[in-house]
Amino acid sequence: MQRAEVRKYATYYDSENKILNYAQQKFTEIFGDLFVGWRDNFCPLIVDSVSERLRVQGFRMGPDEPADKDATDIWQFNKLDAESNAAHIDALMGGASFVTVWGDEDDQPLMVPESAEDVVVQYEPGSRRKRAAALKQYVDDWGIEHATLWTPTRVFTTDRPFTGTDSERRWSEPQETSNPLKQVPVIPLLNRTRLKITPFSELAAIIPVQDAINKVAADALVASEFAAFPQRILSGVEPLPENPSTDDIEAARQEAIRAYIDRILTLDNPDAKWGQFEAADLKNYVVLIDMLVQHMASQSRVPFHYFLLNGGQAPSGESITAAEAGLVAKARERMLHFGESWEEAMRLAFLVKGDTSRAKAYSAEVIWDDPEYRSKAQLADALLKMKELGVPEKQLQEEYGYTPTQILRFDAMREEEMKRAKELADKYGLSDMLGPNGQQQPGQPGKPGQPQSSTRGEAKPKTPQDKVASVELKKAA
């Protein structure tokens, strides 16, 4: 049941949803396969606009600790910079994704994101957190179906070869082993905002609106074919007889109306009349589609300029901050739920390594990148003001968006610069010009207190005696 539900949303996200439905069967017969691959699909935008703002930078395994280097190593070892993004997309799209945590032959923790099409979790009765069991079931490239069942104490694995019909296929005898982690090592990433266990897809409320947009688009295509040009009417013109002769056809050809850009239409028959229906105004369809897209934007809290509404002109300055406030708040809300899952997965990874201390670090937290997009100039100005308030430098670096690995590199690079400056100062006899941090003190090279002679024709800096003499001269004047 879960696989079927997720598959429905996946077809819309992957733009594999059904083709356009015309109002009448005859339109399908007329157009045939002309528009089979055509879809006006906004569903990927709804999901990607949130997922692109959910970027994990690192982990802090305690409130008073810096970013944990071992946690970063585990994250990088499992290539989760990219895999975590895919897990977020699956959770937003289908309502849930999963992370399995286990150990390899070297007892290195393996954190593998899994699709909700392959993994399902059963909770203890009355609990939203305690997991009773988890099952992974998938088919490999050779057609063999595999299944793994985890319980807090045991692990069962089995397979079913691809032979004969489904009724003839049999599962092999399960292989049973103990579970050294003493808990179900499958952590769900649930997309939810309420207390119910069943998560929801971001596309649940969007798909009906998307179907309506496709319906109106199909009507617009039909109108562009049959009613986008004037329909002319002729009355009073005698039709050809049932079995026309050659003379009848020639006479009809002579009387036929041929419209050219430099001719005036005339009829020899005094009783003949003509007229026309005006072409259909296709702007009505555009207005209706725009209205549906606006409803979609309001329901999903995605800014209007993402849909190229209002001429596709993106706001600037404080306007874009206000326009994206709802989307940013939505991303921060998803960080709360996804963050709890990643923290539990990381604690379980340390349990695999045998680190019982960090395996119980319940105050751990995920370091997320800022979901709000701001110009570097605005962000730097804000951080300078925060520095005046006494915010530590490393916290400002995190706020700017640097990863824990980059911040550690900054410390090493700064130490290397100070070491290099000290070596140069010792080499050229300028050690007394360096401050305690290895930086050159304000002033000019040379002996302390002595001004440097100008080499470019500028005026030399005045000594204290020169300044006193200048003041005395001004008084005398």
451-477 pLDDT, tens per residue?
444 444 445 555 555 655 566 666 776
| pLDDT at residue 304 tops 80 | yes
Average the pLDDT over 419-423 and give the result: 83
**Which pairing describes strands 96-103 and 109-115: parallel, antiparallel, or unpaired?**
antiparallel
pLDDT at 335: 94
Average the pLDDT over 363-373 and give the result: 90
| pLDDT at residue 440 tops 70 | no
Nearest to 220 by CA among 277, 276, 289, 278: 289
| pLDDT at residue 124 tops 70 | yes
Return the half-sphere exposure (C-beta side, CA atoms, 13 A cut-off) of residue 367.
26
Question: Into how many domains does the chain fold?
Answer: 2
Residue 416 lies inside a defined structural domain of this protein: yes
What are the beta bridge partners of residue 178? 154
Rounded Cα distance, 203 and 200, in Å? 8
**Which pairing describes strands 186-190 and 96-103: parallel, antiparallel, or unpaired?**
antiparallel
Average the pLDDT over 376-392 and give the result: 82
Instruction: Band the pLDDT of 449: cuts 50, 70, 90.
Output: very low
128 or 151, higher pLDDT: 151
What are the beta bridge partners of residue 148? 136, 157
| pLDDT at residue 400 tops 50 | yes
Residue 257 lies inside a defined structural domain of this protein: yes
Nearest to 46 by CA among 9, 101, 76: 9
> How much is the mean pLDDT over the chain?
81
Residue 317 lies inside a defined structural domain of this protein: no
Rounded Cα distance, 180 and 154, in Å? 9
Residue 360 lies inside a defined structural domain of this protein: no
pLDDT at 439: 58
Nearest to 209 by CA among 292, 307, 304: 292
pLDDT at 19: 58
37 or 137, higher pLDDT: 137
| pLDDT at residue 167 tops 60 | yes
pLDDT at 119: 97
Rounded Cα distance, 345 and 48, in Å? 24
407 or 14, higher pLDDT: 14
Residue 475 lies inside a defined structural domain of this protein: no
Residue 86 lies inside a defined structural domain of this protein: no
pLDDT at 457: 47
Residue 90 lies inside a defined structural domain of this protein: no
Give me the DSSP letters along 385-397: HHHHTT--HHHHH
pLDDT at 191: 92
Residue 463 lies inside a defined structural domain of this protein: no
pTM reported for the whole predicted model: 0.74
- The distance of Cα 273 from the centroid of its chain, to the nearest Å, equals 62
Determine the structural domain holding residue 411 and report its residue range.
Answer: 381-439
Nearest to 304 by CA among 319, 284, 318: 319
**CB of 304 closer than 8 Å to CB of 291:** no
| % of the chain with per-residue pLDDT over 70 | 74
